[in-house]
C-alpha cells in the first residue's frame, strides 16, 4: 500500500491538530432575542459544560413548562471529550502512517461522529421542546418549543438562533481538510501514473 502524497499528509495532520481547539472553546451556541432582551440571551455548549445566560433562559422556559437545562441532563458530556481525543489520536496516527485507507477511515469516522452529534442534538431539542409540564403557567394549544438545529426560528415572541461556535467550526473545517487531502492524493496519484 503506497503512502499518501506529502501535501495530503500535511492536511491530515493539520485537521487533527485543529480539532484540539474544541477542548478550549464552545462548539455550539444558542441565542435568543426578544424585545425585552435586545442584547440577546446566549447559551454556549462546550464538550463538557454549558455556559451563558442559562439561569435566565431556565426562568423564562419554566413558564411554558420546559425542563431546566442542567449539565446532569446530558450524559454525553462525560464521554464526548474521550471521543474527540480518540478521533484526534486516530488522525495523528493516520498522518504518521500516511496510508490512503486510513485517511478514508478517518473521514468516515469524522462524518459518522458529526452526523451522530447532530442527530443527538436534534433528539434532545425535540424532547426539550415537546415534553412540556402540563401544569405550566402558560399553555398555547398545539405549540411546541423545539429550538432550531441550525438557523433561526420564532418561538412565541422570541427568535431562537442555533449554530456551530468556534469549536464546531474547527471540527467542520477539519472534515473539509480531510476531504481535500483524500481528493489531492487521488489526483496526484493519477497524475503520477499518467506521466
Q: What is the pLDDT of residue 77?
A: 93
Convert the pLDDT of each residue in 141-177 to its tens digit: 777 888 899 999 998 889 999 999 999 999 999 999 9
Q: What is the pLDDT of residue 45?
A: 96
117 or 1, which is more confident? 117
Sorted by where each starts, the structural domains of the chain and their CATH numbers stand as: 6-194 (1.20.140)
126-131 own/partner pairs: CB under 8 Å, 24+ apart? 128/66, 128/67, 128/69, 129/66, 131/67
- Taking all residues of the chain, what is their mean pLDDT, rounded to a whole number? 92
98-103 own/partner pairs: CB under 8 Å, 24+ apart? 98/3, 98/4, 98/9, 99/1, 99/3, 99/4, 100/1, 100/2, 100/4, 100/182, 100/185, 100/186, 101/1, 103/4, 103/8, 103/12, 103/178, 103/181, 103/182, 103/185
User: What cell was used for 82?
Assistant: 474521550
pLDDT higher than 90, residue 129: no
Lowest mean pLDDT among 14-23, 58-67, 92-101: 58-67
CA distance 45 to 137: 28
pLDDT higher than 90, residue 61: no
User: H/E element holding 44?
Assistant: strand 37-45
Across the range 53-80, mean pLDDT stands at 90
Which pairing describes strands 28-34 and 158-164: parallel, antiparallel, or unpaired?
antiparallel
Q: What is the pLDDT of residue 156?
A: 83
SS3 readout for 100-135:
HHHHHHHHHHHHHHHHHHHHHHHHHHHHHHHCCCCC
pLDDT bracket for residue 194 (50, 70, 90): low
Q: Which residue has the cell 471521543?
A: 83
pLDDT bracket for residue 30 (50, 70, 90): very high
129 or 80, which is more confident? 80
Q: What is the pLDDT of residue 192?
A: 62
Q: What is the pLDDT of residue 145?
A: 87
Convert the pLDDT of each residue in 78-128 to its tens digit: 999 999 999 999 999 999 999 999 999 999 999 999 999 999 999 999 998
Q: What is the pLDDT of residue 1?
A: 59
User: Are 8 and 138 spatial neighbours (Cβ–Cβ below 8 Å)?
Assistant: no
CA distance 71 to 179: 34
Beta bridge mates, 159: 33, 154
Amino acid at each position: 500500500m503506497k503512502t499518501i502524497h506529502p501535501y495530503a499528509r500535511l492536511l491530515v495532520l493539520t485537521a487533527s491538530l485543529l480539532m484540539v481547539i474544541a477542548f478550549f472553546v464552545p462548539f455550539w451556541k444558542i441565542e435568543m432575542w426578544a424585545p425585552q432582551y435586545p442584547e440577546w440571551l446566549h447559551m454556549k455548549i462546550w464538550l463538557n459544560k454549558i455556559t451563558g445566560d442559562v439561569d435566565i433562559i431556565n426562568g423564562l422556559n419554566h413558564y411554558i413548562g420546559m425542563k431546566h437545562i442542567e449539565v446532569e441532563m446530558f450524559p454525553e458530556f462525560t464521554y464526548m471529550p474521550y471521543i474527540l481525543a480518540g478521533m484526534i489520536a486516530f488522525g495523528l496516527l493516520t498522518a504518521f502512517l500516511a496510508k490512503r485507507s486510513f485517511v478514508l477511515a478517518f473521514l468516515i469516522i469524522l462524518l459518522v461522529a458529526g452526523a451522530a452529534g447532530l442527530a443527538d442534538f436534534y433528539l434532545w431539542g425535540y424532547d426539550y421542546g415537546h415534553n412540556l409540564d402540563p401544569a405550566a403557567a402558560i399553555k398555547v394549544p398545539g405549540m411546541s418549543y423545539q429550538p432550531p438545529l441550525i438557523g433561526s426560528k420564532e418561538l412565541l415572541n422570541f427568535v431562537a438562533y442555533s449554530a456551530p461556535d468556534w469549536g464546531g467550526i474547527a471540527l467542520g473545517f477539519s472534515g473539509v481538510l480531510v476531504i481535500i487531502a483524500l481528493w489531492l492524493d487521488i489526483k496526484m496519484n493519477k497524475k503520477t501514473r499518467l506521466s
